[in-house]
Amino acid sequence: MPDNLIRMAVILADGVGHDVLPVATEVIQAAAGACGVEVKPTVYGYGAQRYLEEGSPLPEDVPGLVQDLASKHDAIFFGSAGVDPRVPKEVNCRPLLRELRRGLDLYVNFRPAPLLDRRFSPLLVDVPVDLVVMRENTEGKISSRGEVFKEGTPDEVTVYDDINTYKGIERICRYSFEYARSHGYPKVSMTDKGGGVGIWYRVFWEVAGKYPDVEAEHIFIDTLCAELLRHPDRYSIIVTNDIFGDILSDLCAGLVGGMGMAASGCIHPGRVCMFEPVHGTAPDICFQDKANPFAAVLTGRILLDTLGHRKASELIWEAVRLAVKEDKLTGDLGGRLGTRAVGDYLVETVEKLAKEGGA
Ligand code: IPM
Ligand code: MG
């Protein structure tokens, strides 16, 4: 990939992705453009749109589709998978989301939750909150297959594997410490429920030993839930398995303003990665210009940073901070603007900041 070109697949998927992705794409283009990087988006209507046009949400060969997308693009920007009010409930893009994460072996699900303004927090504490959940994205319970025996009878039994490999744990822990180092976070906390007996504990401390400059700690997941409500400022990077990461990242998003703020990146360093806002499809407000575009825009920030364009990603961060300061907000954050108006403000602000900063 030439340093100054990003070929970006934009997969609108189901529901609210149609509202927020086009807006966020413009903000990404403005920030990258200000730093001499061209972003070329190709928009795909997989999901509800494809169902309406062709009768099915996805082609049959989803693994083939994912490999094809990865071969043609430098990054994949994904909307949200789930309910889209235009189509039957069971029609959705989830198989594509799963295959993007696992088929491309994107083992880090990076989910930052910075508190942009105290008024967004439901907590009564006046402390800085800057949390990051590093969720293992390819193993664990959710990623594993299950089996059902005697289905539909009173003796029904369901068994799900919980897969945790040395390789899987080592690489997500290593990524967490590397990220702490490169982005100035003081501490990595590993959370699980196995404590001193589990493979996670052993491997985490093995990796932590290689990063003496970063503080490390283990904390049980149940204790951590209570602690996050009482002392959110004591935590920064939290590394954990798939299911705890899934739950914790929503909790952390709730602490800093809700799912409208929740950005993420599914990352495997050096490979084509996928970036998605964590919120669902928001069927009650999609296609109404009401959705908060911050999650998608901040996802663009992660995309640019992951691809090495830190300055462009910082422009997005600064623009969002200004939007908060100047109350350019959607209804979920107490503002009065629509999705598009917030996006237009962010594009203008990115351009203004770039001029001022000489980017
Ligand atoms: C998330 C979502 C997904 C997950 C669902 C939609 C499969 O909850 O991204 O957190 O569990 O990973
Ligand atoms: Mg989730």
**CA–centroid distance, residue 272 to ligand 2 (Å):** 22
2/211 Cα distance (integer angstroms): 32
Q: Is 142 in the pocket of ligand 1 (CB under 6 A)?
A: yes
Q: Please say if the pLDDT value at position 143 is more than 70.
A: no
Q: Is 252 in the pocket of ligand 1 (CB under 6 A)?
A: no
pTM: 0.94
Q: Which of 97, 243, 266 to mutate to test the pocket of ligand 1 (most atoms within 8 A of CB)?
A: 97
pLDDT in tens, 49-91: 999 999 999 999 999 999 999 999 999 999 999 999 999 999 9
Q: Please say if the pLDDT value at position 99 is more than 90.
A: yes
Q: Is 93 in the pocket of ligand 1 (CB under 6 A)?
A: no
Q: Residue 161 corresponds to which tokens in the numbers above?
A: 């594997």
Among residues 72, 8, 88, the alpha carbon closest in space to that of 312 is found at 8
**CA–centroid distance, residue 355 to ligand 2 (Å):** 38
Q: Is 276 in the pocket of ligand 1 (CB under 6 A)?
A: no
Residues 6+ positions from 240 with CB-CB distance below 8 Å:
133, 134, 135, 136, 190, 191, 192, 221, 248
Percent of the chain with pLDDT over 90: 91
Cβ proximity of 134 and 176 under 8 Å: yes
Q: Is 319 in the pocket of ligand 1 (CB under 6 A)?
A: no
* DSSP code at position 348: H
Q: Which atom of ligand 1 is nearest to the CA of 250?
A: 10
Q: Residue 247 corresponds to which tokens in the numbers above?
A: 């739950």
Q: What is the pLDDT of residue 359?
A: 52
Residue in this structure with the two tokens 């959607």, named with its chain if needed: 330
Q: Burial letters for 276-307: b for 16+ Cβ neighbours within 10 Å, e otherwise?
A: bbbbebbbebbeeebbbbbbbbbbbbbbbbbb
**CA–centroid distance, residue 249 to ligand 2 (Å):** 7
26/77 Cα distance (integer angstroms): 13
Judged by its nearest atom, the ligand closest to the C-alpha of residue 101 is 1
Residue nearest to atom 4 of ligand 1 (CA): 246
Q: Please say if the pLDDT value at position 291 is more than 70.
A: yes
pLDDT band at residue 161 using 50, 70 and 90 as cut-offs: confident
Q: Residue 81 corresponds to which tokens in the numbers above?
A: 């998978």
Q: Which atom of ligand 1 is nearest to the CA of 280?
A: 6
